[in-house]
Amino acid sequence: MKVLNVIDGTGWCGTKEQAYLITLHLKKRGIDSEMALAENHLEMINRLKGETNLHFYGVHKSGLSRINPYNLAKLKSIINRGNYDFVIAHSSHALDFIWLVYPFLKRKPKIIALRRSGFMPGVLSRKIKYRIASKIVAVSRKVGEVLKRKAFPPEKVEIIESGIDLSRFKPMPELRTPIRNRLGVSEDEILFINVVNWQPWRKGQEVILKALSLIKDMQFKILFVGKGTDSEEALESFKKFGLGDKCIGLGFRDDVHELLQAADIFLFGSFSEGIAGAVLQAMATGRIVISTNAGGISEYLIDGHNGFMVNVGDHEAMADKIISAVKMSGDTRNKISMNAMQTARKYSIECTVDKYLALLNYLRSV
């Protein structure tokens, strides 16, 4: 069985991490799993180089790269030469490339298209672009329910939850003090952390800042980790809410699994999510999580059991949950932490790949 995983653009985010993990773990299961990507996607190249075959279809410069004839010709050639049984589009934009070359392929592989949020594709996209997909994979039950109800025939939607790498995201308490010392955070300070690229309109960093501005007399610092969190825009937001001396914007980091070890509480203010792998990663390390109920988060985060939850956009409720979490007893904290880790184990990348293998075998038989 031969599979080509297609990604678009560059940079690193939850979508790119899932594409990386799925490509790699299918390969480890004996599937001939390869990837097509932009030749300037260094973040992915550095991770997968030597692990599997990488095929390059041009340089990504902007959204217009999706209609660049050179890029499309390169991708068509890759698929034709590879004689793939399946092509997986790991995002809607990746499917744009595949859809445009699909009519010109000598042999038509089966297409699997991923949907990572409940945002509805446009009518033309639903009726034309997604028509080439044998299956549309939703990364959470909630996203799947929305897609079945509003966008696609139920039988075309497959729910496969995103998975996390539990070999990286696990408790490592010995790292707490060294990392806090490196960051200039004392043991007397509560350390919050938020891990997501800087997109306040979608990822809700200002929900967190508003919540913290209500309790800024508390002794704390917060790490913002992700692309753009060290930008001028981010720094101005920190100052706007009177938190300039309490916020540390670290930008993109490869050591998120280590940074989490230094933190006491993980805060997540997102407005829109598929399943929010960053939340599951934090839970896997035993962090106390306080999150909005965006997307599929409510499928696994249970308020008071394995973390705390507030309605999307409710910064006042988040402030209240933060106060409660800080004040709770050690026994309660340990119980919630243990429950969080047990929950996260159900979302391992191994479980995710089991479901992909089942889907590939099913599609090969029909």
The CATH number given to whatever domain includes residue 153 is 3.40.50.2000
Domain range for 232 is 173-345
361 or 366, which is more confident: 361
pLDDT (tens digit per residue) in 263-292: 999 999 999 998 999 999 999 999 999 999
Task: Name residue 33's beta-bridge partners.
Answer: 3
**Per-residue confidence (pLDDT) for residue 303, from 0 to 100:** 97
The pLDDT of residue 119 is: 77
- Number of C-beta neighbours around residue 146 at 10 A: 19
Evaluate whether 253 touches 230 at the Cβ level (below 8 Å): no
> What per-residue confidence (pLDDT) applies to 64?
76
Q: What value does the mean pLDDT of the chain take?
A: 95
| Contact of 99 with 66, CB cutoff 8 Å | no
pLDDT tier, 43 (very low <50, low <70, confident <90, very high otherwise): very high
List beta partners, residue 54.
35
Q: Are 185 and 259 in contact (CB under 8 A)?
A: no
pLDDT at 118 over 90: no
Percent of the chain with pLDDT over 90: 92
Verify that 341 and 358 share a domain, yes or no.
no
Predicted local distance difference test score (pLDDT) of residue 147: 93
Encode pLDDT of 71-92 as tens digits. 999 999 999 999 999 999 999 9
Residues 12, 150, single domain; the answer is yes
Q: Is residue 168 part of a domain?
A: no
Residues 218 and 104 in one domain: no
Domain count, the chain: 2
Mean pLDDT over residues 317-339, rounded?
97
Is there a single domain that holds both residue 32 and residue 87? yes
Residues 360, 218 share a domain: no
What is the per-residue pLDDT for 156? 96
- Of the candidate ranges 15-29, 139-153, 233-247, the one whose mean pLDDT is the lowest: 139-153
E strand intervals along 81-165: 86-89, 110-115, 133-138, 157-159
| Residue 55: pLDDT over 80 | yes
Same domain assignment for residues 233 and 120: no
What's the whole-model pTM score?
0.92
| In contact, 187 and 180? CB cutoff 8 Å | yes
**Section 235-241 average pLDDT:** 97
